[in-house]
Amino acid sequence: MIQPNIRPHPKFVNVFISGPSEKLKLYTKNLDKGNVIYGEKIILKMDEEFRLWDPYRSKLAALILRGTQKIYLERKTTCLYLGASSGTTISHISDIVSNGLIFGVEISERSLRQLIQNTSSRKNIIPILGNALNPQEYSMLIYKPVDLIYQDVSHPDQANIAIRNANLYLKEGGKIILFIKSQSIKSTEKPKEIFQNELNTLKSANLKVLEKINIDSYAGGHLGVMLEK
Amino acid sequence: MINSVNKYGVQITEEQIRERSKKLGESLAKKSISRASGKDDILIIQMINTLDLLKKTINLFSTRIREWYGLHFPELTDKIIEDHVLFSKLISIIGNRENFTKENLQDKFSFKDYTLNEIVTQSQNSMGAEIDLDNIQKYADLILSIELYRTRLENDLDELMNGATPNLTTLVGALIGAKLVASAGSIKKLAMLPASTIQLLGAERALFRSLKSSAKSPKHGIIFQWHGIRSAKPWHRGKISRLLSGKISLAAKLDYFSDKLLGDQLLNEVNQKIEEIKRKFPNPPKKSQKKSQNLSKKKRSKKRR
Ligand SMILES: C[S@@+](CC[C@H](N)C(=O)[O-])C[C@H]1O[C@@H](n2cnc3c(N)ncnc32)[C@H](O)[C@@H]1O
């Protein structure tokens, strides 16, 4: 087999790519060598392991492939991750913020248990069992304010979850990446109206919309929104 | 916070805070975890039964509203719109057939050009009568609010199933998974059932009928609703349903007895084997006479009901 030519992403720190631009593949450098999280493929190259990052499994990878301007992740970023699930995306973020920190909140006990099993040797992930709608519940574990809130929760009330968590934990000027699924809010409204309603609620809480990206082709009916506090 | 701690002369590094937080987070999560508490089962069964009823209700209500609104705009009822929910939406939002203009429809809906033109033309040449639409529109709103509740409930069930039986849910989806749990009685019971019983869950009535009338015994119950079986050639279905019920049995055991997540793998295996079956048995078996006999028997027994 020919080794893919893996090279750094031109814009994003610690994100790697291979292939031509129309068939770009994404990778992150495995922080926890020897372990895979969700059966992802691993490419070995000079002592390093590169984990293939699947845009159909991870909406952040989809955002990147759909051409987002920024992902607001640097080596030292501190991130609050809402809807951590069993660890697909959070593990790639953990690779990227190699000297940073991620608080991963998840409501499902089973998913979190899986996350803990998968990521216990990753020092930069702190798992938190909690409901993202009631962020004060987990205040004892979030010991410093965060630079970024990454929100991918399957819940109808996206805007309020973002606002409450931003109020408590996000730095002034900090960023939010969140995903809105048209269907999980109101089935009888048109997707456009749903997105608009959520955006209006976010704006009315003084969150500034920086960018909107449709990732429908990777995750049906989803829109990614970047905001600033 | 680090600063404030250091101010009081306590020597603690960020590294240590982080480690302790990680341990605390892990142990808090583990404490509240009690496997298969039984709470999930009860909720799953209630939710799937309610969903079932809601679906039937929406169908029933929709048939009624089609007839009623058909007095006013029969062409829409008869030919153009088959989707029940969309039909009520049109009545609720647009209402009078005179308002079925291109602009209104484009503004609120996303029809394909062909359908759009068809609706507009038919509305201009409608044979229907002028009647008071107020009550019909309220009825449409009622249907839509039931539908809204139904989709929310379905989302909630999806989430619950993903948490309680992730392997089963990945394999066959939340709805079929929940029906299997409900039919078996609980996740635990489903995990204990042999594959051959799982294959027939939900087909008990048909099985009973076949015993009485000595018709060919049915091959599939609830799992017949799985898209991979529904879309299969008739002579593949038996093989696929045996295959699937075996994997379902495995998935349920994984869900009940372990924390392993192998749903994707199980699904892959099923799909691969289906391809194999298709390759090995491209043509229907040649027992055509016997089959047609059975078929006519089945038809008859259906009519009698
Ligand atoms: C689409 S999944 C997230 C997938 C994950 N971000 C990834 O890409 O790996 C959504 C998750 O949100 C969780 N969730 C739903 N409601 C929640 C809430 N109120 N608080 C925290 N998590 C929630 C669900 O249990 C589920 O694991």
Q: Which of A110, A113, A188 lies nearest to residue B147, judging by beta carbons?
A: A188
How far away, in angstroms, is A131 Cα from ligand 1 center? 10
Q: Does pTM surpass 0.95? A: no
Q: What is the pLDDT of residue B184?
A: 94
Ligand 1 nearest atom to the CA of residue A57, by list position: 8
pLDDT of B289 higher than 60: no
Q: What is the dihedral of CA B196, B202, B204, B205, to 10 degrees?
A: -150
Query: What angle (nearest 5°) sits at the alpha carbon of residue B89, between those of residues B86 and B90?
Result: 90
pLDDT of B117 higher than 60: yes
Residue with the larger pLDDT of the pair B255 and B2: B255
How far away, in angstroms, is A189 Cα from ligand 1 center? 23
- Helical spans, DSSP H, in B109-233: 113-124, 134-164, 166-172, 174-184, 187-192, 195-200, 204-213, 227-230
Is A181 in contact with B137 (CB distance < 8 Å)? Answer: no
pLDDT of B47 higher than 90: yes
Query: What angle (nearest 5°) sits at the alpha carbon of residue B224, between those of residues B219 and B227?
Result: 140
Distance CA B141, CA B89 (A): 8
* Sheet with strand A7-8: strands edge to edge: A7-8, A15-18, A25-29, A48-53, A42-45
Residue among B135, B100, B91 nearest B119 (CA): B100
**Ligand 1 binding pocket mutation candidate from A26, A95, A106 (most atoms within 8 A of CB):** A106
Distance CA B221, CA A5 (A): 50
Neighbours of B102 (CB within 10 A): 12
**Which residues does chain A have within 8 Å of residue B3's beta carbon, measured at their own beta carbons?**
none
With cut-offs at 50, 70 and 90, classify the pLDDT of residue A185: very low
- Nearest Cα of chain B lies from the Cα of A90 at a distance, in angstroms, of 15
Is B157 in contact with B44 (CB distance < 8 Å)? Answer: yes
Whether A5 contacts chain B with CB within 8 A? no
No. of helices (H) and no. of strands (E), chain B: 17, 0
Q: What is the pLDDT of residue A84?
A: 95
The DSSP secondary-structure symbol of A135 reads G
Judged by CB atoms closer than 8 Å, whether chains meet at B29 and A86 is answered as no
Ligand 1 nearest atom to the CA of residue A88, by list position: 9
**Which residues does chain B have within 8 Å of residue A112's beta carbon, measured at their own beta carbons?**
29
pLDDT of B27 higher than 90: no
Residue among B231, B264, B143 nearest A36 (CA): B264
Is A132 in contact with A155 (CB distance < 8 Å)? Answer: yes
- β-partners of residue A18 are A25
How far away, in angstroms, is A202 Cα from ligand 1 center? 20
Whether B20 contacts chain A with CB within 8 A? no
Whether A108 contacts chain B with CB within 8 A? yes
Ligand 1 nearest atom to the CA of residue A152, by list position: 6
Judged by CB atoms closer than 8 Å, whether chains meet at B108 and A156 is answered as no
pLDDT of A19 higher than 50: yes
**Which residues does chain B have within 8 Å of residue A156's beta carbon, measured at their own beta carbons?**
152, 155
Interface size A-B, in CB pairs within 8 Å, comes to 83
Give pLDDT tens digits for B66-110. Answer: 999 999 999 998 778 889 999 999 999 999 999 999 999 988 888
Ligand 1 nearest atom to the CA of residue B163, by list position: 25
Distance CA B247, CA B252 (A): 9
Give the length of chain A.
229
Helix (H, G, I), strand (E, B) or coil at A119: helix
